[in-house]
Structure formats: C-alpha cells, structure tokens
C-alpha cells in the first residue's frame, strides 16, 4: 500500500472506527510507520470533527416542535374515520388545507405566500371547478369570495383556462386559475388582495421573476391585487370537482 492509496483508504476514517474494513486496517498500519501520513491523518480527523460540529450546530426553529405536536391532533380523527370513509376524506381535506395554508408561524410576506403556493402546486393541488369557460371560473370565484376581477396577463395570450379553485392563505381568500400549457404543462395564476401582506416587500407593477423551489415564478401588483404566475408539469389535481 503506497502513501496515496493509504490516503484514499483513510479519507473517511474516523478515529477509532475502522468499520471492520481490512483495507482501512492495513492503511492504518502504514500510517503508524509514516510520520507524514500520521500527521495528515491527524489533520483529517480534525477536519471531520470540525464539519461535524458545524452541521450539528444548525439551529432548530423554536416553533417546529409545537407545529409537529399540533399535527398529532389529526391522527385520532383520521383513525376513527377509518370506519367513516366519506367523513374521513372531508376531514383530511380540511386538515391538509390547514397544513398547507394554515397561518400558524408562517412567513406572512409575499415571499412566504409565493413559496406556499408553489409547494401546493408541486405536491398535490385540487381544483374546485373544472371547465374551459373563463366566465364560469370567474363566477365561481366571485360567489366563493375570492378575487374575481383579475386580469389575464398578455403572456398567457389565448392559452385556454382549464379550471380553478378558491384557496385560503393566512385566512385571506386566494383565487387560483389554471391554464392548459403546451404538452403536459399547466400554468397556475394565483390572485389575492395586496393588503393581505403585513410584512416584507411586495413585487412592483412589472413582473418580477424569481426561482422558488426550482420553479421560475413571475409576480406583480396590479389594481390592488397581487399576482403570482408559474408553469410546470404537475401531477393530476386531487379529486377535481365535475364540470359545471
């Protein structure tokens, strides 16, 4: 075993732990007889210790434990509902909505809203109404208290609408309008009142592009409404309502 091979074998050696690997044992024997290699090994050990300390020092958010324990409340409902399947679906849907859009401890800035909406689309989104008729989508949103006076941005041109939903973020109504993109792409437009944001900067009147969770988003303010637009290939929506 030459020096370079010994280094390769000992690169991940953590003092006192050879992982029962004869190759490592052999390299250790070489290192014990080579002062330069021994010194290198000591520096490696110090490096490993330093990286461990830094990673173990990552601060844990104070609210996290309470948030996890709060979710546990879901479980008894869920288990009991095994006998009442229909009721369980409803409860689970509500709880999931609370999970994704709940106000507790969440970043209440526009950035928080943007991040939450992208996460919603990435994971499993739902549509309340499935139709290609823009007027029906607008009417549905209006009658359910969501912003319905939105303007379709020119970038979407004649892209057909496929549905929408009335969502909630920080207890504020959010309009979601979905568009059929090319191929399997779906475009999502979220609209809510700009006064919903208590903190943090808002986008300006010109679309502001920002990558969130790997998704390129565009956001802007128009006529008192905050808009968020992005496209992507997403799973089919959860339990879409039938066409109306």
Partner 1 sequence: MAQDTDFERLVNLYYPPLYRFAFSLTRQESDACDLTQQTFLIWARKGHQLNDANKVKSWLFTTLHREYLQQRRKMARFSDLEFSESESELPEIPPVPPGRFDGPAVLQAVSRLEPSFQAPIALFYLEDYSYQEIAEILEIPLGTVKSRISRGIAQLQNLLLAGEPRLAGKDCRG
Positions touching partner 1 (CB under 8 A) are 4, 7-8, 11-12, 14, 17, 19, 40, 43-44, 46-48, 50-52, 54-58, 60-61, 64-65, 67-69, 71-72, 74-75, 78, 107, 109-112, 115, 119, 122-123, 200, 210-216, 232-235
Nearest to partner 1 of 21, 149 (CB atom): 21
Which is nearer to partner 1, 2 or 56 (by Cβ)? 56
The minimum distance between CB 168 and partner 1, in angstroms, equals 18
Residue with tokens 């359910």: 144
Q: Tokens 């892209």: give the residue.
A: 159
Residue 220 CB, nearest approach to partner 1 (Å): 17
Alpha-carbon distance of 34 to 98, in angstroms, equals 62
Shortest Cβ distance from residue 232 to partner 1 (Å)? Answer: 4
Instruction: Compute the residue count for the chain.
Output: 244
**In angstroms, what is the minimal distance from the CB of 236 to partner 1?**
13
Nearer to partner 1, 78 or 145 (CB): 78
Token code pair at residue 198: 């208590």
Query: To the nearest whole angstrom, how small is the minimum distance from the Cβ of residue 151 to partner 1?
Result: 25
First to last CA, the chain: 75
In the bound state with partner 1, the residue whose beta carbon lies nearer, of 112 and 240, is 112
Residue 94 or 223 having the CB closest to partner 1:
94
Alpha helices (H) in 123-187, listed in sequence order: 134-143
Distance in Å, CB of 57 to partner 1, minimum? 6
Nearer to partner 1, 71 or 149 (CB): 71
Query: Distance between alpha carbon 30 and the CA centroid of its chain, in Å?
Result: 49
Q: Which SS3 state, helix, strand or coil, does residue 18 take?
A: coil
Rounded least distance, CB 131 to partner 1, Å: 25
- Rounded CA separation 27/9 (Å): 7
**Rounded distance, CA 106 to CA 202, Å?**
17
Question: Phi and psi at residue 74, in whole multiples of 5°?
Answer: -60, -35
Sign (positive/negative) of CA torsion 229, 178, 102, 214? negative
Q: Which is nearer to partner 1, 55 or 86 (CB)?
A: 55
H/E element, 161: strand 161-169
What is the C-alpha to C-alpha distance for residues 177 and 179, in angstroms, rounded to an integer?
Answer: 7
């Amino acid at each position: 075993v030459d020096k370079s091979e010994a280094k390769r074998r000992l690169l991940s050696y953590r003092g006192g732990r050879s992982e029962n690997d004869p190759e490592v044992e052999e390299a250790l024997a070489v290192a014990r007889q080579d002062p330069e290699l021994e010194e290198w090994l000591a520096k490696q050990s110090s490096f490993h210790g330093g990286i461990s300390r830094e990673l173990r020092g990552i601060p844990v958010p104070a609210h996290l434990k309470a948030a996890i324990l709060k979710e546990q409340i879901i479980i008894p409902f869920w288990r009991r509902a095994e006998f009442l399947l229909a009721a369980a679906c409803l409860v689970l849907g509500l709880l999931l909505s609370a999970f994704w859009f709940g106000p507790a401890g969440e970043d209440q800035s526009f950035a928080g809203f943007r991040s939450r909406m992208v996460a919603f689309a990435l994971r499993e989104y739902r549509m309340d109404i499935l139709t290609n008729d823009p007027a029906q989508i607008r009417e549905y949103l209006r009658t359910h208290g969501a912003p319905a006076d939105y303007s379709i941005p020119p970038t979407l041109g004649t892209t057909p609408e496929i549905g929408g939903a009335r969502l909630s973020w920080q207890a504020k109504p959010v309009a979601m309008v979905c568009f059929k993109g090319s191929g399997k792409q779906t475009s999502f437009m979220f609209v809510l009142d700009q006064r919903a944001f208590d903190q943090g900067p808002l986008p300006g009147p010109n679309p502001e592009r920002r990558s969130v969770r790997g998704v390129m988003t565009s956001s802007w303010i128009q006529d008192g409404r905050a808009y968020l637009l992005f496209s992507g290939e997403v799973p089919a929506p959860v339990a879409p309502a039938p066409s109306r």
